[in-house]
Every structure is written in structure tokens, then in C-alpha cells.
Amino acid sequence: MALQAPQLTPDNIRDVVAAMTLEEKAAVLVGGGSKAFNGIGNTDKGVPGAAGTTHAVPRLGIPSIVLADGPAGLRINPNREGAEQTFYCTGFPIGTMLASTWNTELVEEVGRAMGNEVLEYGVDVILGPGVNIHRNPLCGRNFEYYSEDPLLAGEMAAAMISGIQSNGVGTSMKHFAVNSQELNRLHNDARLSERALREIYLRNFEIAVRKAQPWTIMTSYNYINGVHASESPDLLTGLLRDEWGFQGVVMTDWGGGYDTAAQIHAGNEMIQPGSDRRYQDIIDAVNEGRLALADLDRSVARVLELVVKSPKFKGYAYSDAPDLTAHAAVCRKAADEGVVLMKNRSGALPASHAEKIALFGVTSYQFIAGGTGSGNVHRPYVVDLRQGLADAGFLVDMGVDAFYASYMEDEAFRCNLINGKSPWYIDRERPLEAVPSEVIAASARTADKAFITFGRVFGEGKDRDLHYSYVLQERELELLTAVSKAFHKAGKKVVVILNIGGVVDMAPWQDLADAILICWQPGEEGGNTVAAVLDGSVNPSGRLPMTISKAYEYEPSAPNFPRISADKPFNYSFYRRLAGNKKAYDIKDIDYTDYEEGIYVGYRYFQTFAPRHVAYPFGYGLSYTSFKWGKMKVREAGDGWDVTVQVTNAGDVPGKDVVELFVHAPGKDMDKPERELKAFAKTPLLAPGEACTVTLHVTRDSLASWDEEAGTWAVEPGRYRFLACSDAATPVLRRRVRL
């Protein structure tokens, strides 16, 4: 008599695995992209617009779970055939902007709201956060990522993961690891020292794994030192599980990697989005003895452990109606703290509502909420700056307004013609900048201040063009020069707003502006956030999560990063693989990229070797008030030290400050950067005259460097300097610590 097949519960995973056929096991490991398994239950299409699913095995009570992007909000289709209802998701600020808040509690709150949408739209795992290091400003996906610094990135990721997962849904921290360029992303080999790997490119992931245990991790498309990230047992088992204690599931990026059996053996349990070939690969590999049953069963058990945690398994009755209004308020709150005030000459800001504003720049009228590609979110609306200013009570100059109203209509027509034809991974055509001389001249007489917004949008699959995207374009520079000349001649001020997904070159033009603020891609509420910073109802408290150098050439990775330009435009033949599926190793920065700068990424390089080449240091940002710091104390506590600093609001308006604790190591026995971030803290809102004491914890372990020769972490003995800094270049208080 046939035994009854066990039905999956959290307690019988072993029995269920034992009852599975080889075909069922293969199906569970391969995403639902394949049509081959309809017979065993791939009937669940999941949520329209989601990125993938797993396979169901109804015979054993295994449901199909749904995975959707990430990371600036949930990406699903807003419309469904035959449905009148819409399924919009909140477009939150991009990762870079969340990192600019330096506020982990706030990021966790964003995670809670985002995770609630995951739950209420019937999704089980969101494919984010993205935590890769900003190695080079031209990387097309930097907007999805947090920072050039692994501590800041890791802490932000941990907060985001905790927030999202508090809803009982999963995350997929990505892309593990060293995914720093988009060009040839499927085949590029990132070649770097073990030390750079450990201290920079893995530390971010390590912090988040240890603190927040993401349910899943997504491996990256690239190779690392000759081994594909998804096929590396050292990375996925030795490091991730054995050293860091990761408990979840590892999945491939969509279509990532080549050798299915090697992936499963390495500890990459889930192959996404799945295909018939991948399914057959597993069956063949087991039958031919290339994949051990033990590897197969271990992987299947891990996927089932994920399944039993999912809302789908628990039968959660989702509403398809998350509270988008409440979440818009969370988006707004986070964006308000992520704006970075870069410059404010003679009190150009805040502006008063009594002043009439001449609003320039096409981006002012078409704000950019987020980036493109899988990192896009179908948000219900985007508040542009024109709208934001009007709602805040600003008066705008009607001459300028009328000009843009008709100009934007013409440009929309032109762009629609082009955009209708381009696939999702090609940059969308944006309106060109106009330089309306007469309108500028007239407004310099009638308006009191000029605001100009410049925008940049980009996304996966491509890196940024140095001249088109990083440097200010000719027309932008012409507009800024013309407005600045006219307004300054009339004794009036000019404010530049940068609505960008990653940094732009600033040194050549910054003198033309009296004030500059970076509002990044602030999500759907963008115009409201910027208007509130401009009128002072929000006092900016964002700090740069990366360095802005004086010119691209000064970037430490510039000699080893693909350069797209007018004479060498982007071309998909850059995606290179040789005949017979062989990896090519001929073209530098495309087939392989040498991380010659090693650990000297971002401020670690600039502060050590080239402080003069910095336009704005890592951690930089101004406020409308001023702060005084004092009473710095360091005392031993637990596994390291507690550092306390008293922060007083010494100005006239309420504000928040950020204390950044850098440590300067002796650097005698070891090669050490001038200083490294070891802790940070954001104050609560302090009223004028109000003080608070922030506590920052530095662990002894965090002072260690990777000793290549010994193959282990080592802490250099000697005298350390603990520096309480307002940015990477500006120590305010210091204490010595002997070790």
C-alpha cells in the first residue's frame, strides 16, 4: 500500500525532502520561469510584474512563493488585465539618499513601510536592499546602493532588512559580491586582493548578515578572482555560512552563472528565474554523479525552510490595499533627512515665501523620483518642484512658468516618440535643457531668486557616460551661466538643486551658484521635500555617503573602470563571452577589471593620498543652524569602547547633527588608511540652545585589518586616535587610545 505523502510543515522538512522525487527536488531549486513543470504544479503565476517565483509541489503541500524587486520600493505592475483597481507601490528615496540620512532608525521605518506593501500585495520576498560599494561614480547602479564605505552601507542594509522583515516577509540582499560595474556585468571578472575583498567589498554584507539575517541573498553576475560569484564555495559556504553564520537561502541573479551543478554545490540554492535547461542540468548532474545527493538535499531543505516562513505558506490573506497615504508620509520623512545642503553663501537659503522665484531647468518641471531598470518602482505619482513650491506657498515668476509650460509640452512630444521605441534597459530620453535668454533677462528684473534643477537618471545594464552624465552638459552650463550672470547683476541669488542618482562633477561650476543642494532621487514626494528645505521648514541634515572629487580623473579607480564616451559609445558587444561559452580575458575593464586601488576606495584614498583633490568630502553636509561639540569621552565597554560626545545646537533654528567617528591607526606595522569610519550617530531634533549626548560604540574587532600573509584578521598594537568628525576631512574632537 502506498504511503501517504507528507505535507510540508515547519517541523517535517527532512521527511518531505526524503519523500521527494529527483524531478521535484530539481523543480524546487529552479525558479518558476520555466514552463516544464506544469504537471507538478507550476500553475501559480504569482503577482503580475513580480520578478520570479519558486515552484510549487502540491503533492507535498509546497506552495510557490513570489519574489519581486527592490530596492526603492516594491516593483510590480500597477495595472492588471480586466481589473479596475490599480496596484501602485510607494516610490521611496533611492538607497543613496537613505544612506545620506545617516539615520538607521529612520531607514528601518522605511523598511517597515516597504515590507508592509510586500506583504499586502501578496509577495513573499523583496529583491533588495542593494548594498554594493560605490567604487566609481560612473557605475550605473550606484543609486540603488548606499555608500563608498562598508560600515555605512552595512548598517543601512541591516536597518532596512530588519524593517522589511518585521512584517514576516523576506529580503534578498544583493549583489553578492563585488558588483561594481554594469558594463559586461554577466562576464566581468573583478580581480582584487583578499584584503580589499574582506575589508571593503564583503564587510558591508557581513555587517548586515550578522545584525539582521536576511532571509535570502542574491549572488552577483560577475566573477571574483576567476570564479563566478554564484559558483564559489569559499564565498557562499566558507565565508557566508561558516564564518558569518548566514541561515537563509542564496539565489542567483536573473540568469546569472553557468554551471548549475557547481552553483548548487557551492551553496547557491536557488536558480532564478529558472529555465528548462537549468532544471534538466540538475537532473543530469545527479544522474551522472557530478552533483552529490547530499548537496541537492541540503539545498532543497534550505529552500523549504524559506517557504515555511513565507506569508504564502501561512496562508496570509493579503489585502491588495496597503496604506499608500501613510507610506507616502514615511517616504517624505526619509527624503527630508536625506537632502544634503552643499553650499549656502551669505544666507541664500532658506528663501521666504514673500520672495518671487524664477524656476529654471527642465527637471524642476519633471522631477526624477528614482532610477531605471529593475530598481524602478511603479509609483502612483511624482510631485515635481513646480508643484512642491506652489503647495508650500511660494510665488513663482509667471514669465518663466509660461515659457516652461509650452516648452515642456514640445519636449514631451519629442521624447515620447523616442521613448515609445526604446526597451526598458536603454536610458529614457529626457527633455533637453533650454536657454531662453529673454525670459532669463526679464525674470532677473521681476523675480527675487532663481532656482535651477539639474537631473540625472540611469540604471542597470549600463554605466554612466562621463560627458553626458557625470559632467554638466553644455546646455546646462549655458543655462546656469546665463541665469547666474543676470541674477547676480541684479544683486539676486541663484540656487542649484541636483536631482540625481549619483554624483556629478561640481568643481567647475559651483562658484556660479550661491547655494547648492543635492536632493538625490527622493521618491514620489520629491517636490514637497525640496520645497520644505528651500523655505526652511525642514532644516537639512543629510551628509554625503561618498566623496565628490574635483575631477573624475582623480578617482582612484578611474584608470581601471570602463569609460563610455561619445567616441566610444555603449554597445552590447561589450557583453562578451567566447564561443563554447568560454570566458574571455582580452579586454581590460570589460573582460576583467583590476582593483588596483585595493582598500583605498573613496575617502580612504583621498584622505590618505590626495586630500587636495576633494571637492566635498565623504560625510559632508551643511545645516541652517550651527552645532558645538564638547566633552568627548572614551571608555572601555564590552567588546570595545563607548565614545560619548555632547552636541549643542548653537544656532537659531532647530536641527539635527551627525557625529562621525573615524579612527586613525598607528600604521607602523600595517598599511592603514589615514582614517576609517568606525561608528556614527544622528542626534534627535535639537531646539536652539538644546544639547544632547550621543554614544558611539567602537568594537576592538573593527580595528582589525586583513593580514594577507597570515590569512587572518589582525589588530595593530600602538596608539590610536579616535576622531569625532563632522566629515571625513574635518576632525572636531580627538582622544588617544592605547592598544
Q: For residues 118 and 634, which CB has a smaller minimum distance to ligand BGC in the complex?
A: 118
At closest approach, how far in Å is the CB of 38 from ligand BGC? 23
Helices and strands: H and E segment counts in the chain? 20, 27
> In this structure, are residues 543 and 683 in contact, taking their beta carbons and an 8 Å threshold?
no
At closest approach, how far in Å is the CB of 311 from ligand BGC? 19
At closest approach, how far in Å is the CB of 376 from ligand BGC? 10
Q: For residues 424 and 713, which CB has a smaller minimum distance to ligand BGC in the complex?
A: 424
C-alpha cell at 679: 561608528
> Please, which residues bridge with residue 258 across strands?
none
Q: Is 253 a catalytic residue?
A: yes
At closest approach, how far in Å is the CB of 143 from ligand BGC? 12
Q: Give the Cα separation of 554 and 351 in Å (integer).
A: 35
Q: For residues 374 and 705, which CB has a smaller minimum distance to ligand BGC in the complex?
A: 374
Cα–Cα distances in angstroms (integers) from residue 39 to residues 36, 58, 59, 143, in the given order: 8, 10, 11, 42
Q: For residues 223 and 254, which CB has a smaller minimum distance to ligand BGC in the complex?
A: 254
Footprint on this chain of ligand BGC (rule: CB under 6 A): 51, 69-70, 127, 174, 253-254, 374, 460
Q: For residues 92 and 487, which CB has a smaller minimum distance to ligand BGC in the complex?
A: 92
Q: Give the Cα separation of 98 and 545 in Å (integer).
A: 9
Q: For residues 54 and 374, which CB has a smaller minimum distance to ligand BGC in the complex?
A: 374
Burial of 575 (C-beta count, 10 Å sphere; 0-12/13-18/19+): middle
**What's at 571, amino acid-wise?**
N
Inter-helix orientation angle 385-392/526-534, to 10°: 50
DSSP, residue by residue, 143-190: GGS--SSHHHHHHHHHHHHHHHHTTT-EEEEEEETT----TTTTT-EE
DSSP, residue by residue, 622-691: B-SS-EEEEEEEEEEETTEEEEEEEEEE-SSS-B--EEEEEEE---SSS---S-EEEEEEE---B-TT-E
Q: For residues 246 and 254, which CB has a smaller minimum distance to ligand BGC in the complex?
A: 254
> In this structure, are residues 656 and 541 in contact, taking their beta carbons and an 8 Å threshold?
yes
Cβ neighbours for 556, distance < 8 A, ≥ 6 positions apart = 597, 600, 601, 605, 606
> Please, which residues bridge with residue 644 across strands?
633, 695
The DSSP letter of residue 94 is P
Sign (positive or negative) of CA dihedral 223, 224, 226, 230: negative
At closest approach, how far in Å is the CB of 297 from ligand BGC? 27
Catalytic residue from among 69, 149, 253, 384: 253
> How many other CB atoms are there within 10 angstroms of residue 1's CB atom?
3
On the CB side of 461, CA atoms within 13 Å amount to 17
Q: Give the Cα separation of 210 and 5 in Å (integer).
A: 37
At closest approach, how far in Å is the CB of 373 from ligand BGC? 7
The DSSP letter of residue 124 is S
CA nearest to 203, candidates 131, 112, 102, 263: 131
Parallel/antiparallel/unpaired status of strands 515-518 and 223-224: unpaired
Q: Give the Cα separation of 129 and 136 in Å (integer).
A: 19
At closest approach, how far in Å is the CB of 461 from ligand BGC? 7
Q: For residues 70 and 640, which CB has a smaller minimum distance to ligand BGC in the complex?
A: 70
CA nearest to 45, candidates 81, 16, 15, 85: 81
DSSP E strands: which ranges in 54-112? 66-69
Burial of 188-200, coded b for 16+ CB within 10 Å and e otherwise, reads bbbbbbeebbbbb
At closest approach, how far in Å is the CB of 568 from ligand BGC? 24
Q: For residues 145 and 662, which CB has a smaller minimum distance to ligand BGC in the complex?
A: 145
> In this structure, are residues 292 and 265 in contact, taking their beta carbons and an 8 Å threshold?
yes
Q: For residues 250 and 723, which CB has a smaller minimum distance to ligand BGC in the complex?
A: 250
State the DSSP H helix or E strand holding residue 216, giving kind and residue range, or none if neither. strand 216-219
Cβ neighbours for 304, distance < 8 A, ≥ 6 positions apart = 8, 13, 16, 17, 28, 62
Active-site residue list: 253
